[in-house]
A and B are shown apart, each in its own frame.
Chain A
């Protein structure tokens, strides 16, 4: 239990571009423990998505170490250690919602009865029971994103990596999904990495908030949230909440001054 689920030390990633090297990540150190809900917040270009992609083994760091469940991210990817949710739902239009959720299960070779059971289970988790036979275009954007979360949950990986999953949705839908995500997290006890650029979203959801800043992409502040696990939406009016939001905003501003 003491072993961190994700550990990065002196992580560096430099992209070679036509305008010279770009330091997407510079000397990033971070530990994520089991059951943490960690948000990564920062302006565009601060490397938050790149960092998440490093954890997923979708980018290869150019320096430093990162482990996921004690393995390299690539090994963790091959061991199917995490579910990944992208900014767009990215459901296959030719598959039903149920079929989309089955996709990872088919690829990973789950048995047919097991697939059906898991689809039913995760659809209930994201409150989409009864939509199994619908096609993606028949669902709203928020429902599609929920289906994509169900898809990431279907094979029951311990880690859930989410890259601005609600970035394209409107405020009201986003609030609703945030609430649901917290309930889901409480029920499944997963470790969640969550990229966002909304301060209220980061503070509301997280047990740990990682503030990042660009050029070079780096961590400027890590805030352990004192908020209780049980969080009704109106916790956002509480004094603690506003204090944390302040500290995040200060962190973001400090990062910007360096530029």
Chain B
């Protein structure tokens, strides 16, 4: 239970920062609205207020602090506004409704999981190739690294459009972008893992005259399991980011990415923020799930989790 307090402290610090930040961030909007409601504001013209910073304006209008937390379309929603939006869209909607975040979450999650499966399989295959084939060792790694230097935001629409033009639509294009982000940590981790057995362990297998396949299944693969889990945890969160990014530029109608975009375009910041938080919670849950799997697997294998 001791480990709970540091976590709570950090969350409290973030919340506090957020709550304080709401005031200056929303002050200009609040002042405009207050003026419309005949509340005295200083200075009293919008133009004069524009010359002041949010913090400066806040200091001259301390009586408006309360209002900054209740704007309908704030620049920065307060925590409770985001919380209410999440409650409304997660708990109070049927999960099949297009207004439900659970529905949108599932759309993104399904692309994430498919992409993660593709990316992980591809990553493991590439790693095996790199470890066993000298030509692949020399050729694949630079390309894998180069692939990750291209901004995914630039690449995603191109992939979606190109796949669309050959008739591939829906889940798969998003999954491919997911896979594009998630295969890389798996390649890097698995190459390191498959190469982790030392010379002595390889010599031992030679003294048994073991075949290369036996060396793979009995030594290299089990030795790489701890590395694989480290990679999977990075890979699954990268997959989720990939799926969301894939939804952003393509006019997707469903998914976390679509919700973020809708909130942005229609001036509903709460919608954007709620989607953002739901995505973060989903990512945390996925990483947590893999941590748990890691612990169970390593314990079963007799190895302590790092």
Contacts and interface: CB of A to CB of B under 8 A. Distances in A.
A62 B223 CA distance: 34
Instruction: Kindly name the residue among A57, A83, A94 whose own CB sees the greatest number of chain B CB atoms within 10 A.
Output: A94
Interface string B198-215: 001101111111100010
B218 interface: yes
Interface string A40-69: 000000000000000011100000000000
B204 A80 contact: no
Interface stretch (B145-153, B284-292, B297-305): B297-305
Contacts of A95: 302
A107 interface: yes
Contact of A90 (B204, B214, B302): B204
Contacts of A87: 200
Contacts of A93: 301-303
A137 B225 contact: no
Contacts of A56: 207
Contact of A80 (B208, B214, B301, B304): B208
B203 to A, nearest CB: 6
Nearest to B207: A84
A135 interface: yes
Contacts of A15: none
B208 A86 contact: no
B224 to A, nearest CB: 11
B222 interface: yes
A57 B200 CA distance: 14
Interface residues of B, number: 20
Contact of B209 (A77, A83, A86): A77
A102 B210 CA distance: 13
A77 B201 contact: no
Contacts of B210: 107
Contacts, number: 54
Contacts of A106: 218
A37 interface: no
B219 A104 contact: no
A58 B207 contact: yes
Contacts of A194: none
B302 A58 contact: no
A103 interface: yes
Nearest to B222: A94
A135 B302 CA distance: 6
Nearest to A53: B203
Contacts of A78: 209
A92 B222 contact: yes
A58 B206 contact: yes
A178 interface: no
Contact of A77 (B207, B214, B301): B207
B280 to A, nearest CB: 34
A107 B203 contact: no
A94 B303 contact: yes
A108 interface: yes
19 contacts: A58-B203, A58-B206, A77-B207, A78-B209, A86-B203, A86-B204, A87-B200, A88-B200, A90-B204, A92-B222, A94-B223, A94-B303, A107-B205, A107-B209, A107-B210, A107-B214, A107-B218, A137-B302, A137-B304
Given A80-B208, A80-B209, A86-B203, 12 more contacts: A56-B207, A88-B200, A90-B201, A94-B223, A94-B225, A94-B302, A95-B302, A103-B208, A107-B205, A107-B208, A107-B209, A107-B210
Interface of B: 200-201, 203-210, 214, 218-219, 222-223, 225, 301-304
Interface of A: 56-58, 77-78, 80, 82-84, 86-88, 90, 92-96, 103-104, 106-108, 135-137
